[in-house]
Structure 1
Amino acid sequence: MTTTIAAQSTPSATGYTLVDADPNELNITANVRTGVDITAAPEFIASITELGVRQAVLAVRRADGTLAVHDGQRRVLAAREAGLASIPVMVRDQTTDERAAGIERITEQINLNDQREGLTKGQHAAGVAELRDLGLSVQKVATALHVPKSYVEKAGRAGRSERARQQLDDRQLTLEGAAILADLEDAAQAEPWITNAIEKIFENRYGFEYRLATLQRKLDERADTRVAAADHIARGFTLLHDEPSTSEGEWFSLADLRTADGSAVPADAPEQAPHLWHVHVHETGAIWVDKATREQVAEDDIDFDTEGDDDAEAYDELRHANTVEKVPAWSYEFFLHHDNRAAAGLELAPERIAAVGDASDDDAQDGLTPAQRKAARAEAERIEDERAERRKVKALNRAGATATEARRTFLTGLLSRKDVPKNATKWIVTVLATHGDVFTESKCGERYADIMGSPLREAAQKADSATVARAEVLLLARVLTAFEARLTGPQDAKDYWRFSSKHYRGMVGIDRYLTFLADSGHTLTPVEQAAIGNITVDDAYAAVDDDA
């Protein structure tokens, strides 16, 4: 449709021409501000009705003659409500480069709207995502919109998702959480189970962001195991991300099976028919490897005093620390699904038959004596308990790592304040009277630097130039980061959920630390609740496993 133009002036030096145009014929669909309800602004409509549009709308003329509004969406909508036949519009021709035109439109709309009523967070993120889709780099978007690169990176991800944008506008998620949600929705296109996991998270009434981050961590772990299992997958094995239970008769380990003649199944049997077998890969710790050859190196053979110093000479026959790196150690276990057992030509071991049989049936056809049958069932129970414990530890450690990230983000915000929370000074005096040794914790200085963004050695200088209130914040930072070091230990451990006795790894005082954070606005996660004995470890596991 061609817009009717009642009057036209001479083009200005900027390339714009002032025209009178029918507001009903202006195109406002291509606008970063969405869902505008102009009827919610009756005073604005009344003003437009009485005085008309006093500030010209900005628009570009497309190749088909239509005018696309770049700035003035609310004025156009109000003019339509007021029944105006024409309004002033500054028009320029659209450039031939559609990509450049799109970039120009979005940046102009975002910048102009931010200077006036302002876009919602969701609308702003949608605009950033559109700019990224048009091929602009993070740096160029940041420059065009006058925002940090970190904001562009997250908003560009969050803006792709309608749900993430809505959660942003409803203040249910931060920009970081909205970005994670958008990433998970993208991943769900290839793995539909993720959609169900997301829905379960939002069925809860709290902790959306923490649970989304934990789910994202689970996906990251799965990606790592896919890399670790790449050779096996290439040979035809199917990867099992979660360790299966062998107590229900659906999955069997090598020990559960026998060959046709009753012999133990050879360890290399899965390699002979990989298409029939599944492999489960799980991390068992860490090892040191040579950076060049990738061969394993014994930790005792490394001179760690040379770390970070290429010119240093390793002691005696030890290895220079810079020639090695720590990598995950992986364990591989093979399982056969019951649907594949016949094709594999394998039978159940007598002990396996005994384990799944009726515990009161002493005449079971397994060829075992009652004592052997009892022992077989006990052994099967022990193995299943071990598998269940590994699943629990894995889930809780994953949740513990996510909780640590969230807690340290909260600490960074808390300690950026100009003054301390109420009763903070009283808490400091009380807790140090009992736990003054907290400043001797390993990694104490590192935790301070991580959270405060500056080395501990600069704290005194900062205090000298700070106000009294800010100096109290610096003191609080010293205490809180020391307790954070005690909570996660020298290895930045994820398993601080283990003992509510508060003496695991000497974790005395942790209950007071986490309780203070909760009183200051931090929502304790299930693993943190378990660490201080507010809930049991099993309750924490039930909470974090439910999301999975």
Structure 2
Amino acid sequence: MTITMPAPASTGYTLVDADPNELDITANVRTGVDITAAPEFIASITELGVRQAVLAVRRADGTLAVHDGQRRVLAAREAGLTSIPVMVRDQTADERAAGIERITEQINLNDQREALTKGQHAAGVAELLDLGLNVQKVATALHVPKSYVEQAGRAGRSERARQQLDDRQLTLEGAAILADLEDATEIEPWVTDAVERVFEFGYGIENRLATIKRRVDERAATRVAAADHIARGFTLLHDEPSTSEGEWFSPVDLRTADGGAVPADAPEQAPHLWHIHVHATGAIWVDKATRVEVTEDDIDFDTEDDDDAEPNGERRHANTVEKVPGWSYEFFLHHDNRAAAGLELAPERIAANGSSEDDAQDGLTPAQRKAARAEAERLEKERAERRKVKVLNRAGATATEARRTFLTGLLSRKDVPKNATKWMVRVLATHGDVFTESKCGERYADIMGSPLREVPQKADSATVARAEVLLLARVLTAFEARLTGPQDAKDYWRFSAKHYRGMVGIDSYLTFLADSGHTLTPVEQAAIGNITVDDAYAAVDDDA
């Protein structure tokens, strides 16, 4: 936090009290000042505080960049001070330009002499972005790909991510995800403990971090989907609550004071008393103008991108609709709010929640009571299964991203892994129909970065070894298409039931990837039967 104090005489500076931990020390890309080597200086700062104000400039984004007083700031941090005097003025355009030139030169020159660490390099990239350069300009100045700048810019803003980079515990992509998760903790406090559990576990760190990040992104999307309801006073529930313990109730569990069913609009009449659970139901088509849902069979996709085309029969023109995420909305009442809502428990809910000693209170016959309890048990099992599927599908989507990244790296080699040719001969003898998968060409293009139709030309100019790689790419991407199916599905973990969705040969495919250096995730392990689906669920649910 920064507190403004009375300004001194017109010097262009304003005296403020600032937290030393929030100050950005930007004197040099290369870090390494060891303030602990000056214990007397730290002791003085501890006893007397910072007596001479630090000089800093305020960037356009509001951050304070220290220009003079790095040691005082570091000592104040060591002393545990939360406030020190800082003289601040706004950053000028000339200073911004000079900062960009300084950092760019430091990175390029240090890379040519004694290489910066990965963490230091990422910090420099982050600072250039903070100074207002866009990703393309930073990439041009540093002679690096745009993808590197994007990830380094994210990783560079986190001290822990930079340290993990330097210690080779994370790749740049993983460090970027870690930095994103640190940023998310303000809105999602649970992320802090989840990340710590991942590092304590010490296995599959990047995949687990990516799964947590996916959940964070899903929750953000859910908040957007529920924004109108939240604005009206509803409280959002990210996880579907259990109604078997007597803490939460759905409308069907309740009755009005006269014993009638709860009206459908009851939650809308008292939104401050009700919670809403929103979950994705998959993509749907809607009219671009009215936003009303449209059945896919009613769309003539042959008219896509052709405004003059006439749709067939009664169907709609493809350019009048668009695909958007579909959402389902369910309302729940907490038991603390039931009295205020003026609602009573339904007899079936009393029977389901009560013990045999409470049987007389529900007013049901033994047969009705038995049926009510069976129905409550069925609904609870459905909720538990929905949660399992949601968690495993999230992990499956994350594993797909990691697996395809591995495939891209594997297939950029000049030669194939050992025994790859023998594996192709064996697997194609049994599963030669894999090339008929509908998404073969699309998966090849995604992973190889070029369309399948260019393969013959590439093969003509390739070495024999590289031609083998191109053949391997054709086989592996075909199996990847079979694994995720026409809809790029996330539920391939179900393959442990064998031949789920026609996924024959997938066990051989994933085993080959594992033998080639890919670390199989719990959902992939479940897909080939190395562990059970329940074991996979236990492994990934703990992170989420």
**Hey, what's the Cα distance between the residues in 2 that align with 1:423 and 1:309?**
49
Which of 162, 178, 185 lines up with 1:165 in the alignment? 162
Number of the residue aligned with 2:457: 461
Number of the residue aligned with 1:293: 290
Q: Which amino acid aligns with 1:277?
A: W
Q: Give a deviation string over 1:57-81, Cα, whole Å, max 9, x none.
A: xxxxx99xxxx99xxxxxxxxxxxx
**Hey, what's the Cα distance between the residues in 2 that align with 1:184 and 1:389?**
28
**Hey, what's the Cα distance between the residues in 1 that align with 2:304 and 2:493?**
32
Number of the residue aligned with 1:418: 414
Q: Which amino acid aligns with 1:533?
A: G
Q: Give a deviation string over 1:194-214, Cα, whole Å, max 9, x none.
A: 111111221211111111111
CA contact (8 A) 1:258 1:264 kept: yes
Number of the residue aligned with 1:432: 428
Matches within 5 A, 1:502-517: 502-517=498-513
Number of the residue aligned with 2:212: 215
1:29 is displaced (CA, Å) by 7.9
**Hey, what's the Cα distance between the residues in 1 that align with 2:427 and 2:181?**
41
Normalised by the length of structure 1, the TM-score is 0.82
Normalised by the length of structure 2, the TM-score is 0.83
1:184 and 2:193 are equivalent in the alignment: no
Q: Which amino acid aligns with 1:292?
A: A
Matches within 5 A, 1:391-402: 391-402=387-398
1:292 is displaced (CA, Å) by 2.6
Percentage of pairs with the same residue: 89
1:104 and 2:101 are equivalent in the alignment: yes
Matches within 5 A, 1:323-362: 323-358=320-355, 360-361=356-357
Matches within 5 A, 1:138-149: 138-149=135-146
Number of the residue aligned with 1:12: none
Question: Paired residues, what number?
Answer: 468
CA contact (8 A) 2:351 2:359 kept: no
Q: Which of these two proteins has the greater Rg computed from alpha carbons? A: 1
Match of 1:498, SS state, is helix
Q: Which amino acid aligns with 2:397?
A: A
**Hey, what's the Cα distance between the residues in 2 that align with 1:369 and 1:220?**
48
Number of the residue aligned with 2:534: 538
Matches within 5 A, 1:442-453: 442-453=438-449
CA contact (8 A) 1:501 1:532 kept: no
Number of the residue aligned with 1:131: 128
Which of 469, 476, 480 lines up with 1:480 in the alignment? 476
Number of the residue aligned with 2:380: 384
Number of the residue aligned with 2:399: 403
**Hey, what's the Cα distance between the residues in 2 that align with 1:292 and 1:271?**
26
Q: Which moved more, 1:500-509 or 1:403-412?
A: 500-509
Q: Which amino acid aligns with 1:256?
A: D
1:287 is displaced (CA, Å) by 2.0
Which of 239, 242, 258 lines up with 1:242 in the alignment? 239
Relative to structure 1, the CA distance from residue 286 to residue 145 in structure 2 (aligned partners, 3 Å threshold; closer, same or farther) is closer
1:228 and 2:225 are equivalent in the alignment: yes
**Hey, what's the Cα distance between the residues in 1 that align with 2:332 and 2:358?**
29
CA contact (8 A) 1:240 1:278 kept: yes
**Hey, what's the Cα distance between the residues in 2 that align with 1:237 and 1:363?**
35
1:529 and 2:525 are equivalent in the alignment: yes
Q: Which amino acid aligns with 2:357?
A: D
Match of 1:281, SS state, is strand
Q: Give a deviation string over 1:270-290, Cα, whole Å, max 9, x none.
A: 111000000111122332112
For structure 1, list consecutive stretches of 5 or more residues without a partner in the other structure.
1-27, 38-61, 70-94
Q: Which amino acid aligns with 2:410?
A: L
Match of 2:494, SS state, is coil
Q: Which amino acid aligns with 2:282?
A: G
For structure 2, list consecutive stretches of 5 or more residues without a partner in the other structure.
1-24, 35-55, 58-66, 69-91
Match of 1:117, SS state, is coil
Q: Which amino acid aligns with 1:332?
A: Y
**Hey, what's the Cα distance between the residues in 2 that align with 1:302 and 1:178?**
44
CA contact (8 A) 1:259 1:345 kept: yes
**Hey, what's the Cα distance between the residues in 2 that align with 1:301 and 1:170?**
56
Q: Which amino acid aligns with 2:373?
A: R
1:96 is displaced (CA, Å) by 8.9
**Hey, what's the Cα distance between the residues in 2 that align with 1:280 and 1:183?**
25
CA RMSD of aligned residues (A): 2.1
1:144 is displaced (CA, Å) by 2.1
**Hey, what's the Cα distance between the residues in 1 that align with 2:498 and 2:482?**
11
Match of 2:492, SS state, is coil
